Amino acid sequence: MSNSSKFSQKQHSGKEYRKNVALILERKNGKILICQRSDCEDSWQFPQGGVDEGEEIVEALYREVREEIGLSAKFYKIIEERAGYRYDFDKRHAKWKHYLGQEQTYFRCRFNGKNKNINLGADKPEFTNYCWIFPDEFNLEWVADFKRKVYFEVFRDFFDLEIA
């Protein structure tokens, strides 16, 4: 769908895209962190989450990373940021009925900690497991259908890869 079509859809529905941040955590050896969703064991993704009203985008990143994988900002450094990645929610996301989908800002960050600094044991854990892979090992089928286009674009933009 073209941007003008999306704009018309937004105007027509009165809905907007929810602001969101996502983390690409990268080790010195080039491996990146992916996390297994707790609500769908076949689904792996980058940690991500919404930006609260009045919150700065970088502060949202620090908060979401702390909430989702228990990682303090002292264990990573932002090395690249890219914005404007959008996806529409599918019908299963009724809790977000006031939004068309999410508009994401991706942060590629250098990890300077150890695995023990990552803690998936949050009050309401979103992830049950994590692993480190090289970017060219990622498979689009690991991601929910409605997010695949964004992941394709992210891997192209950050790693110059066309993943399948």
> CA quadruple 90, 13, 152, 28: dihedral positive or negative?
negative
| Closest by Cα among 127, 132, 158, 105 to 27 | 132
Label residue 4 by pLDDT band (50, 70, 90).
Answer: very low
pLDDT value of residue 57: 98
pLDDT (tens digit per residue) in 83-130? 999 999 887 655 567 888 999 999 999 999 999 999 998 777 899 999
| pTM of model > 0.85 | yes
What are the structural domains, with CATH classification, of the chain?
14-159 (3.90.79.10)
Per-residue pLDDT tens over the stretch 132-149: 999 999 999 999 999 999
Give the whole-angstrom CA distance, residue 101 versus residue 90: 8
What is the predicted pLDDT for the residue at 40? 87
Please, are residues 127 and 36 in contact by the beta-carbon 8 Å criterion? Answer: yes
